[in-house]
A and B are shown apart, each in its own frame.
Chain A
């Protein structure tokens, strides 16, 4: 396992409304280091519930400047008037590879023309777009802060409209991914991260469905226990397949 290059494509820094977590960037990094994660793609949680999502991005940038294995994943809200400036801020850095959208939290749908314009700009910048399907199971939301999942089909339809833009589905439950395998495989640029994929043999079934090269390891730390993210891959798969999902696929995508 020492030789495996673990790339976590979805970790966070900050606090959350329904959980008490050690969300400081240093603490998250330590918890992932215990699981031998070598690269951490990190977004900020601080303003997910705020009016201006962009204000939290500084947390991810500061974490990346402080820790050599943390890579910032800026959050973008295409309905904010200043999203182009925020994207420009990201592209000025040489370490940003992924931009993340949180449609359910920012309050828009993926068929909004502003999202298409944003997707085109992200593509033109040569970046990857991650679309978060869920951060938290709706059944566990605070009753006064409910956020339903972004429908899986909405993401695949969006991805099919932007065929030159690599799209990563964030936080997708495994049954949605497995039942939508055809829609994912219809394009060679759609990926799914594994942080919320549970169930006996779920990853194995997705590999059997041809999704092995589309799966990217993620922990969802600090909201989830990092060891859980590693366990679902390491326990069930051959070394070769586990190595690809834990880091090989992400490395290939990031270096494309």
Chain B
């Protein structure tokens, strides 16, 4: 029932240092506790990005660097279990582009993470996307459609579609399927370089099925948003969906693997 029947890669994980109810004393402890929780659910590999220990909504580039160093440390401690993404801020476009070069070009991080400093329609994102395209790594952009109102710099799915149209060569992962809701799915239907991750929100029935129906099976990737969300609860969104087994396996593994850079795929845990 809870057996994913093969390897599972989670597209959306944060360190416990950022959001864990249980705070950890070191990156090594973070790896031990978080990895154990993931493996209990059947997750075999996970994309990890730190939003800094203090989780500022508008981080400085120095805070992004600290966050990235922490994620890199966790990746190194995890023997390939965690794949780090580079977190940057469109508040400082030029410095962020340099940080992408440092993290992806030099340290071989697997992608870029953007959160809520500025909406995806903002030109401050453009130099960052250009570097992601240069290094051929995916960009994971936070998105939500909150009835209670988004934060000032928080992107909607329509904003993500705008970003993807400005950068048609970029591979964009739009975060939080359940938060984007059925209207948000429609916003990206005709933007083929955007896929959606299943992270965030409650495990509502029928949402993953709807995303597959509207976007196609190849444009949905599994994500949890752990430790905010439970790995197993989020995995159940896919395992409990009314979809063919082959489609579930695509969501749980193939679709994200196909979007990761070659240096990651070469070292894949299969």
Contacts and interface: CB of A to CB of B under 8 A. Distances in A.
Q: Do A and B bind each other?
A: yes
Nearest to B234: A228
A198 B232 contact: no
A139 interface: yes
A19 interface: yes
Interface stretch (A84-92, A152-160, A231-239): A231-239
Contact of A224 (B20, B33, B203): B203
B34 interface: yes
Given A140-B181, A146-B147, A231 B233 contact: yes
A236 B239 contact: no
Interface residues of A, number: 39
A60 interface: no
Most chain A CB within 10 A, of B22, B40, B230, is at: B230
B229 A198 contact: yes
A137 B210 CA distance: 19
Contacts of A125: none
B148 A235 contact: no
Contact of B232 (A22, A136, A138, A231): A231
Nearest to B242: A22
A199 B229 contact: yes
B22 A205 contact: yes
Given A200-B226, A202-B230, A227 B21 contact: no
A142 B181 CA distance: 10
Given A201-B37, A232-B230, A138 B2 contact: no
Contacts of A199: 21, 227-230
Nearest to A224: B203
Contacts of B147: 138-143, 146
Interface in B118-158: 144, 146-148
Contacts of A200: 16, 20-22, 34, 37, 226-227, 229-231
Contacts of A20: 206, 210
B204 A227 contact: no
Q: Which applies to chain A's interface (DSSP): helix, strand, loop or mixed?
A: loop
Nearest to B144: A139
A227 B240 contact: yes
B178 interface: yes
Contacts of A138: 147-148
B41 interface: yes
Contacts of B203: 224-225, 228
Interface in A213-234: 221-228, 230-232, 234
A54 B68 CA distance: 55
B237 interface: yes
In this complex, which of A20, A205, A223, A225 has the most chain B Cβ atoms within 10 angstroms of its Cβ?
A: A225
A187 B37 CA distance: 32
A35 interface: yes
Given A140-B181, A200-B227, A236 B204 contact: no
B2 A227 contact: yes
B202 A140 contact: yes
Contacts of B90: none
A4 interface: no
A246 B11 CA distance: 30
Contact of B146 (A21, A139, A224, A226): A139
Nearest to A171: B202
B1 to A, nearest CB: 7
Contacts of B233: 198, 228, 231-232
Interface of A: 18-22, 34-35, 136-143, 146, 175, 178, 196, 198-202, 205, 221-228, 230-232, 234-236
Given A199-B21, A200-B22, A224-B204, 17 more contacts: A19-B205, A20-B210, A35-B1, A137-B201, A139-B144, A142-B147, A198-B228, A198-B229, A198-B230, A200-B20, A200-B230, A222-B205, A224-B203, A228-B234, A228-B236, A231-B230, A235-B2
8 contacts: A20-B210, A200-B21, A200-B229, A201-B20, A225-B203, A225-B237, A227-B236, A235-B232
Interface of B: 1-2, 16, 20-22, 33-34, 37, 40-41, 144, 146-148, 178-179, 181, 201-207, 210, 226-237, 239-241
- 6 nearest A-B pairs in the assembled complex, by CB-CB distance: A231-B232, A228-B203, A227-B240, A200-B227, A228-B236, A225-B240
